Structure formats: C-alpha cells, structure tokens
C-alpha cells in the first residue's frame, strides 16, 4: 500500500473526523527547516502554529537532535521511580531557578494532560494530608482546554468534547473566561470587566462552599475561544481570592511557558504567583516529549515527612533523552536570546495582524507575545457570529483547507466562536508576519465572498 492508503487504513488521527479523508488526501509532513515544514509533495508551509504550540525554536535544529542522540547512547532510559538521573536533576534545578516565587519542586510527566492530571491529583492528595479532606472541587473557565485524560477533561471547559466520556470526575465547576470582545458585563471597561471575571471565581467558591474547593486552573492567556489575555489586575485579584479561601492557584502554562509570551512563564509576564505551574510543549521545542509541574515548596513539605508518598508516577516521565533535549533547548534560548526576540518583535506581530481589521470578516484580533487569535464575524457592527451551518461550511469546508493550500499551517477553530489561531515559532520575525498576513488576507477575502 502507498502512504495514503496505509494512512487511511491504519492511522487514527487525533480530534479528527476521519471520514473527511475518504475523498481527499491526508496531509503528510515529511521534514522541517526553521519556521517552515514540507509535505510529501515537496510543498512548503509556514508553520504558523509551531506544530501545536510546540516548536519554539523551529525545525531542523541539529544541536537538539544531537543532544538526543548523545543521551540515548549514554543512558537511554531509567525511571524516576525512586531513582534520579543527572539530566532530570539538572533540569529540575534549572526550572526552579527560572520559575517565580517558591516553585522549587519539579514533578515530570510526558505530556500536558498528564501535567494537569498530576496537579489535580496533587491538590487532592495535599489537602487530605493536611487535614482538609473535604477539599476536592476544581474551578476552571468556560471554553478552556486543559487536556484529554479523565481528570484533565473534567477540568476542561469545552462542553462539546465531554459528552461521549461522561460521567466525568465530579466536582468540576465553570466560571466565565476573559473574552472582553464578548463581555457579558462591563464591556466599556477592561479593568472593571477583569475585576468582575475574577470576582466570579469568588462567587463560585462561595456557592460551592470554600471548604470544599481545592484549586482554580487558569491559563495565563486562554487558548480555546481564541486567545483571551488577562485584563489588568485579573490575576492579582484571583490570587487574593485564592488566599482568602485557602484555594490553590494552578497556572496551566502548557502553551504559555517557554517564550510564547516573551518570558519563561506567563505568570512572570503578568506578575502573579501561582502555587503550581503545569508545563509541556515548548520545553523541548518538540524534539522529544516532556511535561511536568512546578510546585511550591509549601505543597511538597507534607510529602517530605514520615511515610507520606505522592502515589503517582508515569513510566516515561522525565525521560533521559527528553530532559537532555530540554537542557539543550534552554541553552539555545539563552544563546540566541529567544525571549528577547519575542519581546522585540511582538508589537510588530500585533500591528501586522491588526492590518486585517480592515476586512469585513475580521471581528477581533487579540493575544500577546507570539500567540494570537483572530475572531471571524458575519457582521462587524453587531459582532454577529456564524450559525453552526455557516461555521461548518466556512471553517471546516473552506478556511482550513484553503489556508493550508495557500502555504500556512494555522488553526481554524470553532469550539468557541470561530477563530483563526496563530502561534509561530519564536525565531520568526517581520518577514514571516508579512507572509502570514498576506495569506490570511487573501484567504479571508475569498471566504467573505463565499458566505
Ligand atoms: C492549556 C493546555 N493544557 C493542557 C493541554 C494538554 O496537553 P497534551 O496535549 O500534551 O496532553 C493542552 C494542549 O494543548 C493545553 O493547551
């Protein structure tokens, strides 16, 4: 069988309607170089989503490949179950030094879902250990994505992806997100809107009973729904609320950490102190899978006494090859001043994307750093969105394939209101932003004529 036939017969693509490929080819990406990838027909695409918010340094970095090669030859595998290996130790120390506050303890995983799942289990186990066993509930925001394992899916706020798997883990509660473009209250003041959205968390805590709530899970910039940055003061207010009620604040930085927002951590960019940071994706720029959570010393303390044990582990977590790659990745971040590149160019990225505001279909351009969402609307003046049928035709039927055909990998997502998501590799500069804008302009203009 050729690759297409084999892919269609044997490969199960994630979050994908497989029937969509009955009559069209599965795109097969074969190699990458810098911010570009190439398919099996030799066509080039600008990787405007860094794969899946992963490829911070871009593709084809031989120093990362060599770090993996060297480590596999030295010690390919050993578990972190009661053993350590030098890379895990060094990386944990490095991450603790980069993280804000007293987040000095690292529990490695292989993925973002496992990181969120681990933070969920740690919150429950911690409160049991310190004599507050009734604290088990978790709070997160509408439309926020936190992963697919049963715990992480329970925390996820995308109602549409949950029904096939219900009943989920009980005690998961939703609060509003920070979509200012569609603010249900205080649409005239970002500050007041932010205060309201934070206070909604307190109202949820009080409604549920503060003594039953374990943790709040928030991304620095919420991805799903199309990049909602936090209003000024939002996280500071959430921190106050969490402190008042003894609730843990988990910053889910699976996307936002490692330069996406021009800092190692989103919490640093927005000046707040979480109790746990979950991370994955960009830590290795995708050259090997790795995730984890950074935990405040205070949460680890009860596990440092007597027979106490965090009864949780993952075979491949903190894999020697992945941790070697992560160390090499962070070395390149320093050497090539990757964070500085994002900070120097983010205003240019924003300004370039904002040029698209002259198109009738573009309702809102929002984001921070190298992380943007463009919300599409049917009527700019009223912010009228598309109905399900139009969304289906526009996003799935036209936009996604047309953008790809035009040479841009990005994401047309309708899990909230319809948005195009962009998160290019952190090595990109103005020439790449121009290319993104040019392709989006032409495809979005065509989309408007098809409505
Ligand atoms: C904020 C957030 N949390 C968790 C996850 C889950 O990560 P993974 O797909 O590595 O399991 C994702 C994935 O996109 C994410 O964006």
The residue contributing the CA closest to ligand 1 atom 2 is 146
> For ligand 1, what atom is nearest to the CA of residue 281?
10
What is residue 419's predicted lDDT score, i.e. its pLDDT?
A: 96
* pLDDT surpassing 90 at residue 340: yes
Average pLDDT, the chain: 97
**Atom number in ligand 1 closest to CA 152:** 4
Q: Using a 6 Å CB cutoff, which residues line ligand 1?
A: 111-113, 116, 145-147, 219, 223, 252, 254-255, 280
pTM: 0.98
Judge whether residue 278 has pLDDT over 90: yes
- pLDDT score of 416: 82
CA of 166 to the centre of ligand 1 (A): 20
In this model, does residue 114 exceed pLDDT 90? yes
What is the 111 CA–ligand 1 centroid distance (Å)?
7
Q: Whose CA is nearest to atom 4 of ligand 1?
A: 146
Q: Which atom of ligand 1 is nearest to the CA of 224?
A: 16
What pLDDT, on the 0 to 100 scale, is given for residue 310?
A: 98
Tens of pLDDT, residues 349-377: 999 999 999 999 999 999 999 999 999 99
Quote the ligand 1 centre to 52 CA distance (angstroms): 9
Residue that has been written with the tokens 């925001």 in this structure: 141
pLDDT tens digit sequence for 372-429: 999 999 999 999 999 989 988 888 889 999 999 999 999 998 888 899 999 999 999 9
pLDDT (0 to 100) of residue 397: 86
Percent of the chain surpassing pLDDT 90: 96
**Distance, CA 117 to ligand 1 centroid (Å)?**
11
> Tens digit of pLDDT for each residue in 71-83?
999 999 999 999 9
pLDDT, position 201: 98
């Amino acid at each position: 069988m050729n690759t297409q036939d084999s892919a269609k017969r044997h490969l199960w693509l994630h979050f994908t309607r497989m029937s969509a490929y009955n009559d069209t080819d599965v795109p097969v990406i074969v190699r990458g170089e810098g911010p570009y990838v190439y398919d099996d027909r030799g066509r080039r695409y600008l990787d405007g989503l860094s794969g899946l918010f992963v490829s911070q340094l871009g593709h084809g970095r031989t120093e990362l490949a060599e770090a993996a090669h060297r480590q596999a030859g030295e010690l390919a595998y050993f578990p972190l179950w009661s053993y350590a290996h030098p890379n895990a130790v060094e990386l944990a120390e490095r991450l603790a030094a980069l993280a804000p506050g007293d987040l000095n303890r690292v529990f490695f995983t292989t993925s973002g879902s496992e990181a969120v799942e681990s933070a969920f289990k740690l919150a429950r186990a911690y409160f049991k250990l310190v004599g507050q066993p009734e604290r088990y509930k978790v709070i997160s925001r509408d439309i926020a994505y936190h992963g697919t394992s049963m715990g992480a899916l329970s925390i996820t706020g995308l109602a549409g992806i949950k029904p096939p798997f219900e009943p989920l883990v009980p005690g998961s509660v939703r609060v509003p997100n920070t979509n200012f473009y569609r603010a249900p209250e205080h649409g005239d003041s970002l500050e007041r809107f932010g205060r309201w959205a934070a206070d909604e968390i307190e109202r949820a805590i009080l409604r549920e009973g503060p003594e039953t709530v374990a943790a709040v899970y928030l991304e620095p910039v919420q991805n799903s729904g199309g990049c909602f940055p936090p209003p000024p003061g939002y996280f500071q207010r959430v921190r106050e609320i969490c402190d008042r009620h003894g609730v843990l604040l988990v910053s889910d930085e699976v996307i936002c950490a490692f330069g996406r927002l021009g800092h190692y951590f989103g919490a640093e960019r927005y000046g707040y102190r979480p109790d746990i940071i979950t991370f994955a994706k960009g830590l290795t720029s995708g050259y090997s899978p790795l995730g984890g959570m950074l935990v405040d010393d205070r949460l680890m303390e009860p596990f440092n006494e007597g027979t106490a044990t965090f009864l949780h582990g993952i075979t491949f977590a903190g894999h020697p090859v992945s941790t070697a790659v992560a160390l090499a990745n962070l070395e390149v971040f320093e050497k090539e001043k990757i964070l500085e590149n994002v900070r120097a160019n983010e205003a240019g990225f924003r300004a370039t994307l904002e040029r698209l505001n002259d198109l009738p279909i573009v309702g809102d351009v929002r984001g921070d750093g190298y992380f943007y969402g463009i919300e599409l609307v049917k009527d700019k003046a009223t912010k009228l969105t598309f109905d399900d049928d139009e969304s289906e035709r526009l996003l799935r039927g036209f936009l996604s394939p047309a953008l790809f055909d035009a040479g841009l990998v990005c994401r047309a997502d309708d899990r909230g209101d319809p948005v195009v998501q962009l998160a290019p590799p952190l090595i990109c500069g103005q020439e790449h932003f121009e290319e993104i804008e040019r392709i989006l302009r032409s495809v979005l203009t065509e989309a408007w004529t098809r409505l």
